[in-house]
Amino acid sequence: MSTRKTSLPGFDSQQRPTDRLLFAVLPEKPAVARIEQLTRALCREHDLRGAAVHAEQLHITLVILGEYWGVPPDLLAAATSAASQISQSAFKVRFDYVQTFRNKSRTTGNYPVVLCGDEGLIGLETLHQDLTGRLRNLGFKGISASLTPHVTMLYEPEPVPSHAVAAVEWTVHEFVLLRRHINQYLPYSILGQWPLQKVS
């Protein structure tokens, strides 16, 4: 199954896609508050004026399925089938430094300033690999084999130097399928949720 953007009946083939579909992990509420606190401190420290990511849009991308006009039912069914096969246990994540990605946002034209980690993100990498393999087995193509787990905090016209920060930690108990409304500052729609196994 291709993850390229598709045309639906009634839509011009040249019309821009309206939706991006992706699997992701959402931070728990205390982690969201901590990330917002870090973002404010970062802005004060470096005199930043860029656009901060809204609390309801904070997430960690696992797999991007592509951009579409609406939500193709066959793709949604296949993605749901792949997700339901995951049997990973819940795991902890730890983000402890800030860096700037060099690929500018297509929406803002600015650099993403992101929260990253090292050994504390192994569980995310494992989940990505498992989910990617199951999607490919169901015919998905164009799925990226690589992953740099991160949380985008804000977008800046100039890069922010990499540096350590007080760690943000939480336990991941589930992952979700999100629908992002392209070029609209709206909360993501959750199309599906899959719990991870409880740690005994």
Is residue 189 over pLDDT 60? yes
Is residue 4 over pLDDT 50?
no
**What does the pLDDT look like over 105-146, one tens digit per residue?**
776 778 999 999 988 899 999 999 999 999 999 999 888 888
Q: Report the predicted TM-score, pTM, of the whole model to 2 decimal places.
A: 0.89
pLDDT at 109: 79
Q: How far apart are the first and last CA of the chain?
A: 37
Nearest Cα to 133, choosing from 73, 77, 63, 188?
A: 63
Between helix 73-84 and helix 122-137 the angle, nearest 10°, is: 130
pLDDT-derived band of residue 13, with 50, 70 and 90 as boundaries? very low
Q: Is the pLDDT of residue 200 over 70?
A: no
Cα separation of 105 and 110, whole Å? Answer: 6
pLDDT-derived band at 1 (thresholds 50, 70, 90) equals: low
pLDDT tens string 47-57? 998 889 999 99
Say what the pLDDT of residue 11 is: 36
Q: What is the largest CA-CA distance in the chain?
A: 52
- If we measure between CA atoms, which residue out of 63, 56, 67 comes closest to residue 83? 63
Among 160, 151, 100, 85, smallest CA distance to 124 is for 151
Contact of 142 with 66, CB cutoff 8 Å: yes
pLDDT attached to residue 14: 54
- Residue 31 confidence (pLDDT) above 50: yes
pLDDT of 8 strictly over 50: no
